[in-house]
A = this chain, B = another copy of it.
Amino acid sequence: MVGDTEPGTVRPGGRTARVRAAVLQAAGDALAEGGFAGLDLADVARRADVGKTTVYRRWGTVTGLVADLLTDMAEQSLPRTETGSLLGDLKANAQLVRRTLADDRQGALFKAVIAAATCERRTAEALRRFYETRVAEWAPCVERAVERGEVPEGTDPHEVVRAVSAPLYYRLLTTGDHPDEAAADRAAEAAVAAAKAGAYVRREGGPHQEDPA
């Protein structure tokens, strides 16, 4: 955890961590309320009750702050549920995505960050890393299902996990509707049915090859 930081500059649970937590909470609140365009480091510092200079020195820019917020969100992301069946696991995942998107603050925050990522390269990279982390957290559910013989050998776990989230995000972004519980269950059921039918088996030259590790 310390690695390449100077000794003494990071004290987990200490002042640095408390300042970061307060600033990221304030940044999330501000994003959810006013979107990316309204985000302002001085306003975030005021909301967090932290000195402006600290915020400018540590995060530098609004995009730097959003990137760090996404890193934190990925780290905080709840661990996966293991229910013993692929359908059970993916339903748990789908309901977690649904609850996040349905939550007033979290839903608005995701919309704001996705909107910003369409025109901000650094935010786009941070968002991509967020989803990579999240998808990697849930991929072992699919690996276990391959081992159990529930889905064919060669099924791409990342594609299956993404298939669960896709219809929920698509619905939110194209219609503004918050997906309901039935939609979340259906997303999981559709992903499992497609996986069982071999739709996510990796093809020669397919787009996603997992690391051999």
Contact = CB atoms under 8 A, between A and B. Distances in A.
Interface of A: 35, 37, 111-112, 114-119, 124, 127-128, 131, 159, 162-163, 165-167, 169-171, 173-176, 180, 182-183, 186, 189-191, 193-194, 196-200, 203, 205-207
A37 B37 contact: yes
Given A197-B193, A206-B182, A162 B173 contact: no
Contacts of A173: 114, 117-118, 169, 173
B114 A174 contact: yes
A116 B77 CA distance: 27
B174 A131 contact: yes
A124 B193 CA distance: 32
Contacts of A163: 167, 190
A127 B206 CA distance: 32
A186 B170 contact: no
The 7 A-B residue pairs with the shortest CB-CB distance, nearest first, are A193-B197, A190-B194, A166-B170, A115-B115, A111-B118, A190-B199, A166-B166
B186 A200 contact: yes
Contacts of A170: 162, 165-166, 169-170
A128 to B, nearest CB: 5
B35 A118 contact: yes
Contact of A171 (B162, B176, B196): B162
A135 to B, nearest CB: 9
10 contacts: A37-B37, A114-B115, A128-B174, A166-B171, A169-B174, A183-B207, A186-B200, A190-B199, A193-B193, A193-B198
A165 B171 CA distance: 10
Contacts of A190: 163, 190-191, 194, 199-200
Contacts of A35: 118-119
Contacts of A182: 203, 205-207
